[in-house]
Amino acid sequence: MMELKRAVLLVRCAMERAGNLGLRMPQTKVVLCGCLLAVLLSGAPAWAQIGSERYSSIIIDAASGRELSSVNADEPRYPASLTKMMTLYLTFEALREKRITPDTLVPVSQHAAEMSPSKLGLVPGTKMTVEQAIFGLVTQSANDAAAALGEFLGGSEPAFAALMTQRAHALGMEHTIFRNASGLPNLEQTTTARDLSRLAAHLLSDFPAEYHYFSTPSFRFHGRVFTNHDHLLESYPGADGLKTGFITASGFNLVTSAVHGNVRLIGVVMGAARVAERDRHMMLLLDRGFAMMGEPGGEPRSEGRNVALLSHASAVPLPPPAPPAPPAVGSGPRWAVRVGAFSSESAARRAAEAAHRWTDAGRIIVSPTSHEGRAAWRAELVGLGPSEASSACTVLERHKINCVVVKPEV
């Protein structure tokens, strides 16, 4: 029976891959037979599991970005419906910039309506509001709503996916490529646990007014009630979002944020064999992370029958950060590099993040200001010494980025 289950799962995976590659039926049969033979001969598990080659995880402190633990955090993985975090990021950005409102109507195309489950069952030619689409993504992980949003915001889903990838790279997600708005199988759509932790951190910091959507317990739409797939919202104290994901090729994925006391952690677990395994492992990692930060995370947990796997899957916690070096005598206030004033906060943040990637200097600050009598946002890299600021500006000018070295106020 176990071998039969493995064969069925691998057949499903092969069908997804064949479909993505555009193979015809005879070619698909070859792929399926090869996969079936491989699993029967090798006895290899068809699903990922904690400790398997598809497993990866990371826990970070949301405030500082400090990494508390990680395993395979930079290895490529299929995001599955974690993709919708970026779909929502771009949706929240459009809301903030007033290009849309929560009540803006989103048309449903034939393409969107034909998405595979999970879905809301949208009908071609109908419309839903932006807020209904958001609720559909965070609760039901609705692929039809995600595709409809992508087409509406990007003109087409492929064009929207290109915008998603562009924004991902601007946010420092250098190892992420998006090919659709939903996370449905595509061999080219890959990410890493570390990149997803960065995306989660940006959703928290960039959209504090919209983050509450991720904790929505249920959503009523056209007479049906859709409950949130994220079980940690109920089972783990302090958990308040973000997203679950699954396709056969990825295993069960989860990105979670939780708060205990004054500490907020972000966790990513990818490649679990079962929902219960994924959730229990995430709770264990969060408990350990909160303990490292001096905040108890609840009752002690163990991985049960996964203890043996966990022994080689868990990361060795990083040593506590070294205390900052005392400032040099006479060093005075810190200098900054200003890279411009922009009409929107998001544009300023993108400019500052680009400057930081080129220079790896200072820390990013985006602050309100005015320009020619209009509200604006200033982008800066701050906390620099005079020579460091000058060198950073030289590097930026070499890459055609305007900058000004700002002396500290006395």
Q: Could you write out the DSSP letters of every residue in 231-255?
A: THHHHSTTEEEEEEEEETTTEEEEE
Cα–Cα distance for residue pair 32/14, rounded to 1 Å: 6
Contact 382, 393 (CB under 8 A): no
pLDDT given at position 129: 97
Cα–Cα distance for residue pair 151/106, rounded to 1 Å: 9
In this structure, what token pair is assigned to residue 305? 């029958």
Of 153, 264, 164, residue with least CA distance to 205: 264
In this structure, what token pair is assigned to residue 324? 């900052």
Contact 161, 149 (CB under 8 A): no
How far is residue 95 CA from its own chain's centroid? 19
Residue 194 has pLDDT above 90, yes or no: yes
Among 7-21, 311-325, 359-373, the range scoring the smallest mean pLDDT is 311-325
Cα–Cα distance for residue pair 305/308, rounded to 1 Å: 7
Alpha helix (H) ranges present in 207-306?
Answer: 232-235, 275-292
pLDDT tens sequence across 73-90: 999 999 999 999 999 999
pLDDT given at position 48: 52
Among 12-21, 192-201, 367-376, the range scoring the smallest mean pLDDT is 12-21
Residue 7 has pLDDT above 50, yes or no: no
Cα–Cα distance for residue pair 17/192, rounded to 1 Å: 20
Residue 207 has pLDDT above 50, yes or no: yes
Quickly tell me which residue has 């699954």 as its tokens: 246
Residue 324 has pLDDT above 50, yes or no: no
Say which DSSP state 310 is in: H
The percent of residues above 70 in pLDDT, for the chain, comes to: 77
Beta strands in 5-134 (DSSP E): 56-61, 67-71, 105-107, 127-129
The continuous run of DSSP H or E covering 335 comes out as strand 335-342
Cα–Cα distance for residue pair 340/342, rounded to 1 Å: 7
Query: Highest mean pLDDT range out of 50-64, 110-124, 329-343?
Result: 110-124
Beta strands in 153-238 (DSSP E): 218-221, 224-227
pLDDT tens sequence across 351-393: 888 888 788 778 888 888 765 667 777 888 888 888 888 888 8
127 C-beta neighbours (distance < 10 Å), count = 14
Residue 46 has pLDDT above 70, yes or no: no
Q: Which residues contact 1 (CB under 8 A, 6 or more apart)?
A: none
**Residues noted as catalytic:** 81, 84, 141
Question: Which is higher by pLDDT, 287 or 330?
Answer: 287
Estimate the share of the chain in helix, then strand, then coil, as percent rounded to the nearest 5: 40, 20, 35
Cα–Cα distance for residue pair 339/354, rounded to 1 Å: 10
Average pLDDT over residues 3-19: 44
Question: Which is higher by pLDDT, 400 or 227?
Answer: 227
Contact 95, 101 (CB under 8 A): yes
pLDDT given at position 370: 66
Residue 242 has pLDDT above 60, yes or no: yes
Residue 320 has pLDDT above 70, yes or no: no
Among 151-165, 195-209, 235-249, 390-404, the range scoring the smallest mean pLDDT is 390-404
Question: Which is higher by pLDDT, 165 or 360?
Answer: 165
- Packed helices 84-96 and 157-170: angle between N→C axes, nearest 10 degrees: 80
Q: Encode 287-321: b = buried (16+ Cβ within 10 Å), e = exposed.
A: bbbbebbebebeeeeebeebeebbeebbbeeeeee
Cα–Cα distance for residue pair 154/269, rounded to 1 Å: 30
